[in-house]
Amino acid sequence: MIRVDAAEWRSTIAGFHGSGCTLFGFLTGVDRGDSVEIIGRVAHPESIEAHLISTTIPAGGTLPSLNDLYLGASWHERETGEMFGITFAGLTDARPLLRRAQQGSPPLLKSSVLVARVVREWPGAAEASDDGRRGGNPSRRRQRPAGVPEGFMQDEADGRSAIGGT
Partner 1 sequence: MIPDEAHGVIGLQPSACTSCMICVRECPTWCIELESHTEEVSEPGARRPKTINVLDAFRIDFGLCMYCGICVDLCPFDALAWSPGFDHAASSAGGLVHGINELVNWWPATNPSPAD
Q: Report which DSSP code applies to 166.
A: -
> Between residues 138 and 145, which has the closer beta carbon with respect to partner 1?
145
> Between residues 131 and 158, which has the closer beta carbon with respect to partner 1?
131
Footprint of partner 1 on residues 87-146 (CB under 8 A)? 117, 120, 122-124, 126-129, 131-132, 143, 145-146
CA neighbor of 106 nearest in space, from 129, 122, 83, 127:
83
CB of 127 to partner 1, least distance (A): 7
Pairwise CA distance, residues 28 & 39, whole Å = 5
Q: Label the pairing between strands 62-64 and 23-31.
A: unpaired
- Helices (H) and strands (E) counted in the chain, each on its own, are 3, 6
# chain residues binding partner 1, by CB under 8 A: 14
Contacts with partner 1, residue ranges (CB under 8 A): 117, 120, 122-124, 126-129, 131-132, 143, 145-146
